Structure 1
Amino acid sequence: MKKADIKNLSAGDIQNKLAEVKAELTKLKLAHKISPIENPIQIKDLRKTIARLNTELTTKQQ
């Protein structure tokens, strides 16, 4: 997700999206440990998305 997309979400939507992305990251990590996934950069991108979501959530809660 892009930063502009995240800014338009409400705090509740960010929390829901954060839970979805964390679950997807866990699934990808497990799949990568079993057999290498086609595009391992997806893991890096998901971690960055989680960081963006956490940052925006913190900003909205203040």
Structure 2
Amino acid sequence: MRQSEVKELSVEELHEELTNHQTKLADLKMTHVLSPLENPSEIKKIRRTIARIATEINQRELD
């Protein structure tokens, strides 16, 4: 998810996306522990998306 896509979402949608991505990250980490992922860079992408969403939520709270 790109930053431009994150900025278009409402606060409720941001919280929902944050929860979904955190769940997906936990699942991927667990899967990776049990057997190596075919594409381990997916974990990195999801972590960055979570950071983008969290940053946008914080910026909106400050404004």
Partner SS, residue 39 of structure 2: coil
Q: Which residue of 2 aligns with 1:49?
A: 49
**TM-score computed with the length of structure 1 as normaliser:** 0.97
Deviations for 1:5-56, whole angstroms, at most 9, x for unmatched residues?
0000011110000000000000000000000010000000100000000000
Q: Which residue of 2 aligns with 1:3?
A: 3
Distance in 2, matches of 1:7 and 1:50, equals: 13
Q: Which aligned runs of 4 or more in structure 1 are off by greater than 4 angstroms?
A: none
CA RMSD of aligned residues (A): 0.5
Q: Which residue of 1 aligns with 2:23?
A: 23
Distance in 2, matches of 1:3 and 1:20, equals: 17
Name the aligned partner's letter for residue 51 of structure 1: A
Unaligned runs of 5+ in 2: none
**TM-score computed with the length of structure 2 as normaliser:** 0.96
* Fraction of identical pairs, as percent: 37
Aligned residue pair count: 62
Kept in 2, the 8 Å contact 1:21–1:50? The answer is yes
